[in-house]
Homo-oligomer: A and B are copies of this chain.
């Protein structure tokens, strides 16, 4: 089972923690790493917006990504949240096994 690293941005740390914890509780991800506040510049309504956000990484297996995207859509305050899956090409075998183990329903 292939593992992936998800990268998700949220409005702030409270939202990142709440969504991350829910994904963990539902065994959709094995772990999350919440980064300190980031500064985001992005196109919205034809203008470059400039806001503080909070991003987090989450490790999971490839087969869970669609379910996670759906779940984040239900939990997130944004209409169009950034949820992207970066493939993990290789890794510490014990850690990759641990990801599979922790996300088994």
Q: How far is the CB of A40 from chain B (nearest CB, A)?
A: 5
In this complex, how many residues of chain A approach chain B with their Cβ under 8 Å: the count is 57
A86-B86, A89-B4, A92-B72 in contact; A36/B34 too (CB < 8 A)? no
Q: How far is the CB of A24 from chain B (nearest CB, A)?
A: 5
Considering the complex, give the chain B residue whose CB is closest to the CB of A70.
B92
Cross-chain contact B5 with A30 (CB below 8 angstroms): no
Residue A1 lies at the interface, judged by CB distance under 8 Å to chain B: no
CA distance A57 to B13 in the complex (A): 18
A residues 51-105 near B (Cβ < 8 Å) are: 53, 55, 57, 59, 62, 65-66, 69, 72-73, 79-96, 98, 102
From B7, B69, B85, B93, contact of A57 by CB (8 A): B7
Cross-chain contact B57 with A33 (CB below 8 angstroms): no
CA distance A32 to B73 in the complex (A): 21
Cross-chain contact B32 with A35 (CB below 8 angstroms): no
